Structure 1
Amino acid sequence: MDIAALLIESHGRVGQVLHRAVGGLDLDQLTWRADPDANTIAWLAWHAGRGEDAQVAGAAGTEQVWTAQGWVGRFALPFDVSASGYGQSSQEVGQVRASGDLLLAYYDAVAAATTAFLDDLGEDDLDRIVDTRWDPPVTLGVRLVSVISDSLQHAGQASLVRGLLQRAT
């Protein structure tokens, strides 16, 4: 298995988990909170997509799917166009109100862009520096592992919230 295939296989797990966590839920279920400050399934799914979109587009040197494909307008969230969920308040978490179909369609569009980028990678590409703000600077390989890890964590958290929701109702 080459490096592109390995990364694509690893990345593909995110969408599978998100679809199980989000699929079939209505807006009230997607925005249910285990306590007043807890993250919602809607916010976790949106944030998984936004985080991946921002980081992969940055590494690829492309425009984010969020703006390039007009998702920012479809979601119509009361945030700056660059918002991706990092550092958002509990109040802002509650402002992410979107259908499961919209959340999953956006993530699937991000995943398609990510897969297209990964498909062209070779092993030598992984050592390219993509972020000099850290010490040591971040390589593409480290960034891609981080993206997969973050996205899987958020998808898993959405699954946990779904389980809590099912037990509470």
Structure 2
Amino acid sequence: MDCAGLLEDAFGRVHEAVHEAVEGLDEETLAAAPGPGANPIAWLVWHLTRIQDDHVADVAGREQLWTAQGWADRLDLPLPHTDTGYGHTPDRVAAVRAGARELLGYHDAVHTATLEYVRTLGPDDLDRVVDASWTPAVTLGVRLVSVVADDLQHAGQAAYARGLLERGTRT
């Protein structure tokens, strides 16, 4: 397997986990916190998708799909268009409300664009420095693995939240 195939598989796992966490849920369930101080599924999926969109757009040298394809207007969240969810307060977390169709539509668009980008990469590309403000400097390979790791953690949290919410609705 080459590096593009490896990255395609990794981002594919994020994509599958997101769909498993979201499909079939209504907006109320997506917005429900599974416990005090816990992040709802809608926020988790929106945030992980915003991070992927933001970071991959940056290294690919293109505009984020959030604005380029009008997802910010479609989801119409009461947040600045530059917001990715980093450092959100509980009030800001609660402001992220969307239906499964919108969340998955945005995620699918970002996933497609991500795959288009990673399919262009060869092994030498992964050593390119994309952020020199860190010590050591962040390479493209490190940035992409960081996005996958962060996304998988949040997708796992969304799946766990779904399980808690579904179990709670059956009792």
Classify the TM-score, shorter chain.
Answer: over 0.9
Quote how far apart the aligned CAs of 1:35 are: 2.5
1:80 maps to: 80
Quote how far apart the aligned CAs of 1:36 are: 3.5
- Aligned partner letter, 2:6: L
1:167 maps to: 167
Q: Secondary structure at the match of 1:6?
A: helix
Quote how far apart the aligned CAs of 1:48 are: 1.0
Gaps of 5+ in 1: none
1:122 maps to: 122
1:113 maps to: 113
- What TM-score results when the alignment is normalised by the length of structure 1? 0.98
Instruction: Report the identity percentage.
Output: 54
1:12 maps to: 12
1:46 maps to: 46
1:37 maps to: 37
- Aligned partner letter, 2:48: A
Separation (CA, whole Å) in 2 of partners of 1:95 and 1:118: 32
* Count of matched residue positions in the alignment of Structure 1 and Structure 2: 169
- What TM-score results when the alignment is normalised by the length of structure 2? 0.97
1:57 maps to: 57
Quote how far apart the aligned CAs of 1:168 are: 1.0
Separation (CA, whole Å) in 1 of partners of 2:56 and 2:79: 21
Q: Secondary structure at the match of 1:130?
A: strand
Q: Deviations over 1:139-163 (max 9, x none)?
A: 0000000011111111111000000
Separation (CA, whole Å) in 2 of partners of 1:5 and 1:36: 40
1:3 maps to: 3
Q: Secondary structure at the match of 2:113?
A: helix
1:155 maps to: 155
- Aligned partner letter, 2:66: W
Separation (CA, whole Å) in 1 of partners of 2:116 and 2:44: 24
Shift >4 Å, 4+ stretches: none
- Aligned partner letter, 2:8: I
- Aligned partner letter, 1:39: N
Separation (CA, whole Å) in 2 of partners of 1:14 and 1:34: 21
Gaps of 5+ in 2: none
Quote how far apart the aligned CAs of 1:43 are: 0.3
